[in-house]
Amino acid sequence: MGKADTKTTMKTLEFGANKLGLHLTSRQFEQFQVYYRELIDWNRRMNLTAITDYEEVQVKHFLDSLTVVQALKLPLSKGVKLIDVGTGAGIPGIPLKILLPEIELVLLDATKKKAGFLEHITEKLKIKNTRVVVGRAEEIAHKSEYRQQFDLVLSRAVAGLSALVELTLPFCAVGGRFIAQKKGSIETEVQSARQAIFLLGGELTDVKTVELSEFSDRRLLVVIDKVMETPAQYPRRPGIPAKRPLV
């Protein structure tokens, strides 16, 4: 497939991205194309995603990842550090990295098999300044090289918000931001997480609705700013945040 083809065949992503004010280059479309192909290929051997249709991946994985630009504090500049907690097959971290090649990216997932795919795809996409870390957030967040080191923390489809903030806010530097990608009715979930957000040094800044007709369901960005340090006891041991969320 030639370069011209590559660009024209990702129309769905292109239209959606344009609505977000994003204008992708042919190299970026090519990278999304490679990402799609490899994802489908590896998905035959391991369970990476239930979404495999070409149009659907463009919307539900790629475009959905890019919607976080609507909740960014500043335009992300060179050297900004981003961690995607529970990235799975690289969502939303890899699309963001394709969009913003200058950022430093950490892809964290507890599953070793998925890390194999992440290593492969980041190499294949020739993206730099990217590290794949295998481990549980509850443990990795206590390591000094990761604790409170990130300007931006992202996470999609990993846990309920009360548990999720315990897995993510410890990575966030004071002054940084955590954006959780959520679906559906989350009012109660957000209310129940208020105390956990506070205990972990966060402040709920916004709950933004993603207004794109590409999505048939309700998608939201929960925006939490890190205003104070996270006390050293958090996160608690693996499994505890989900089992006994802070309330």
Is residue 136 within the footprint of ligand SAH (CB under 6 A)? yes
Distance in Å, CB of 142 to ligand SAH, minimum: 12
Please identify, using beta-carbon distances, which residue of 33 and 168 lies nearer to ligand SAH: 168
Q: In the range 144-173, which residues lie near ligand SAH by CB under 6 A?
A: 156-158, 167
Alpha carbons 11 and 103: distance in angstroms, whole number: 26
**Looking at residue 235, what DSSP letter applies?**
S
> HEC states along 104-168?
EEEEEECCHHHHHHHHHHHHHCCCCCEEEEECCHHHHCCCCCCCCCEEEEEEECCCCHHHHHHHH
**Looking at residue 224, what DSSP letter applies?**
E
Distance in Å, CB of 17 to ligand SAH, minimum: 18
Please identify, using beta-carbon distances, which residue of 231 and 239 lies nearer to ligand SAH: 239
Distance in Å, CB of 83 to ligand SAH, minimum: 11
Distance in Å, CB of 42 to ligand SAH, minimum: 14
Please identify, using beta-carbon distances, which residue of 159 and 190 lies nearer to ligand SAH: 159
Please identify, using beta-carbon distances, which residue of 7 and 155 lies nearer to ligand SAH: 155
Here's the x/- map for ligand SAH, 93-122, by CB under 6 A: it reads as ---------------xxxx--x--------
Q: Is 95 helix (H, G, I), strand (E, B) or coil?
A: helix
Q: In the range 40-99, which residues lie near ligand SAH by CB under 6 A?
A: 86-88, 91
Alpha carbons 3 and 136: distance in angstroms, whole number: 39
User: 136 vs 105, 127, 226, CA distance in Å?
Assistant: 17, 24, 21
How many residues interact with ligand SAH (rule CB under 6 A)?
A: 16
Q: In the range 170-229, which residues lie near ligand SAH by CB under 6 A?
A: none
Distance in Å, CB of 24 to ligand SAH, minimum: 20
Q: Binding residue for ligand SAH (CB under 6 A) from 104, 138, 166, 214?
A: 138
- Residue 117 · residue 94 · CB < 8 Å: no
Distance in Å, CB of 62 to ligand SAH, minimum: 11
Strand order of the β-sheet with 81-85 is: 130-134, 104-109, 81-85, 150-156, 172-183, 219-226, 202-209
Site for ligand SAH, rule CB under 6 A:
86-88, 91, 108-111, 114, 136-138, 156-158, 167
